[in-house]
Amino acid sequence: MTNQDRALLHFHGGGYRAGAPELSRPLAGHLARRVGAEVTVPPYRLAPVHPFPAAVEDGLAAYAALLGRGFAPERTAVVGESAGGGLALAVLVAAREAGLPMPGAAVGLSPWLDLTVEAPSYERCAATDPVLGRTDLLDSAVLYLAGADPRAPTASPLFASAETLAALPPVLLQSSRDEVLADDAVRFGKRMAAVGGDCRVELWEDTTHCWQLFVDRLPVAVRAADCVAAFLRERLI
């Protein structure tokens, strides 16, 4: 299941106020086997007891620890779903600010990248997303931010500077076309493309928020996870 040359750092979802590593482990294990990598699914502190930037601090520490164990950054990737997908990109923003090297790739699955909760998809997909809604995410954002600016790049990677976006490694974003977070992925991809970055955005049909987590029971989840694994194998060379 592991390969000492490659490493995946996988962040769980839960709106920064819930969730646990156990929920991500079936998917993380699937990716580890398909990529041939060691996988770490770290816990991180949650709101409201530990608001922003606690999660980013913990995520950055986990990334630094992985590099400290001797994994080459170009053979390392950060992955996450939902808020964990946003955290994966936020950790890279923080890593650049801290002077740490970028990993070889990053993946966000139904990522929450904009904590202003203002994307058009909240209205457009309100009737087609059975998992999330604007009110739920606004509540999570308020608890997590605790008064901090929702446009801070380590809270909402969508608002990272052009220089930071250009410095990011290749990124893969997968979202359901019918979920309220669809526009987060699309807008992030457009921002990276505008500065010459490498960001692949996949909008999947007939799926729901974070369907990839059901890799142990849904064929469409296996197909999506295998696309992620292929992306990572190509880049963690």
What are the residue numbers of the active site? 82, 179, 209
Report the largest interatomic distance among the alpha carbons of the chain, rounded to a whole angstrom: 47
**d(C-alpha 82, C-alpha 155), whole Å:** 13
| Residues in CB range of 223: below 8 A, 6 or more apart | none
User: Which helix or strand (DSSP H or E) is residue 40 part of?
Assistant: strand 38-40
Q: Taking the C-alpha atoms of 197, 200, 201 and 203 in order, what is their torsion angle to the nearest 10 degrees?
A: 170
**How would you classify the pairing of strands 7-11 and 76-81?**
parallel
What residues pair up with 171 in beta bridges, in sequence order? 106, 199
224 Cβ contact list (under 8 Å, min separation 6): 109, 174, 202, 204, 207, 211, 212
Question: b or e along 80-107 (b: 16 or more beta carbons within 10 Å of the residue's beta carbon)?
Answer: bbbbbbbbbbbbbbbbbeeebebbbbbb
> 């909760």: which residue's tokens?
117
